[in-house]
Amino acid sequence: MKRYDAVVVGSGPNGLAAALVLARAGHSVKVLEGQPTFGGGARSMALTKPGFVHDICSAIHPLAAGSPFFSSLPLERYGVRFIHSDVPLVHPLEGGDAAVLHRSIDETAAGLGPDEKAWRRLMTPLVSGFEDLKGLIYNPLTKPPLKAPFLAARFGLKALESAMGFAHDTFVGPKAKALLAGCAAHSFSPLTTPLTNAFGLILAITGHTVGWPFIEGGSQKLVDALVAMIREAGGELEANQPVERFEQLPPHRLVLFDTHAHVMTRVCGEALPAGYRRRIERGFRKGPGVFKVDYALDGPMPWAAPIAARTSCLHVCGDAEAVAESEAAPADGRVPERPYVLVAQHSPFDPSRAPAGQQTLWAYCHVPNGSTVDMTARLEAQLERFAPGFSQRVIARHVKAPADFEATNASYLGGDISAGAVEGLQLFFRPTIGLPYVTPNPAVLVCSASAPPGPGVHGMSGYWAAQTALARLRRS
């Protein structure tokens, strides 16, 4: 039986990134995927009716657009095209009003009323220094940004704060607070906890620099491009190959797990020391779950705020306090009554997503890990609240609860699409304190979002894990 230099378990963007780096370096690589299609959370399928293309998980890609690894690849040659809507993000408010994140700092600030100067003062140095800040956003702590230490410190001090604390200290009006809170809610954490402001700042900065684009034809296009490049470099990929025991792996020098850290320890069993397995199982906290509904609509969303029709991404909940209340619930083991709903509407800007005159809508909210509560009515009430008449547009829906996420992706334990909570020290030390990507077994590495820099479609966890793998392969 062939012995591979590296076997990659899981084919999400990080696993594919790791495989591509290793294959291009001349190493024999095999990717094993348990599902019928490659891609993990970056797949696209016809979930509702024929002709409607839905992203099954990740749908809007600011971190992919700014990713140093993806930027180094000839993605366009493989059919990957990022589409930008007129504005990156809209956060609807009561009465048909909205907070809007434009690519332009000045245009954004002009719409924030009394916080115009505060937003411009906050964002201008961070946006102008984005290239230098990428080291903080996309690198592990072992690879700090050294070019602009003062800018990094300026960002870092603000990032350490809670989103709500920072918003109330910095802004006075509702729009700027809501805009920041909506971005920070991507942390899946209560917005009163430290470090949640990091998410708010990063996503606002990317909106002003690289935008919040999506991929024409579906997120699957990015996966297909990576798969094609791996095969061209001599790598092998095999779908429908779930790995449940370490003994199932083909002979290898190294194995890289693009899975939740808990899945890795379960598969590895005694290939990892018992003490290390206990640290992961007891100390690496799972993140909240998600509840998602994909819609086929017979026409455009009837948003009360007209500008909402000009974006592909919306944060639907209300003001900053409403967002904070929703995000506090899962941490307490509760489902939110009025959930913060992340919405993507691709088809107004990408006709390939739906039949002419019709539209897709992608919407999910955060719930406790493993929740069995049907959130459809609560989620749709929020959509109806800010888009009166929405329910009359629905011609089909596809509901996906936390258990359904895990059933279609073994790494999404209890609906945890973040591969572990991203809060406190666990934001930096993933999956445990120590050097990133490595385990006590020198032949076993972590290349998933359970390792730095964490969740998001950026491929950087896989890229950095591959650098560690390359060093080990050179020494062995």
Name the pLDDT band for 147 (thresholds 50, 70, 90): confident
Specify the CATH number for the domain of residue 457.
Answer: 3.50.50.60
Q: pLDDT for 48-105, tens place per residue?
A: 999 999 999 999 999 999 999 999 999 999 999 999 999 999 999 999 999 999 999 9
Domain identity same for 125 and 191: yes
Question: Does residue 92 sit within a domain?
Answer: no
Q: pLDDT for 164-179, tens place per residue?
A: 999 999 999 999 999 9
Domain identity same for 130 and 200: yes
Domain identity same for 109 and 205: yes
What's the average model confidence in pLDDT over 246-265? Answer: 97
Final residue of a domain: which of 391, 407, 423?
407
Question: Does residue 469 sit within a domain?
Answer: yes
Domain identity same for 133 and 171: yes
pLDDT of residue 148 exceeding 90, the answer is no
Strand ranges across the sheet with 289-297: 98-101, 89-92, 313-316, 341-344, 359-367, 289-297, 394-400
Domain identity same for 333 and 376: yes
- Identify the pLDDT of residue 150: 84
Question: Does residue 91 sit within a domain?
Answer: no
User: Containing domain of residue 141, as a range?
Assistant: 104-209
C-alpha angle 258/133/142, rounded to 5°? Answer: 50
Instruction: Tell me, letter by letter, the H, E, C secondary structure of 214-251.
Output: EECCCCHHHHHHHHHHHHHCCCEEECCCCCCCHHHCCC
Final residue of a domain: which of 372, 389, 407?
407
Which residue has tokens 């025991």? 245
Q: State the chain's mean pLDDT as an integer.
A: 96
- Structurally, how many domains does the chain consist of? 3
Domain identity same for 302 and 364: yes
Domain identity same for 164 and 126: yes
Domain identity same for 378 and 448: no
Question: Does residue 84 sit within a domain?
Answer: no
Domain identity same for 299 and 402: yes
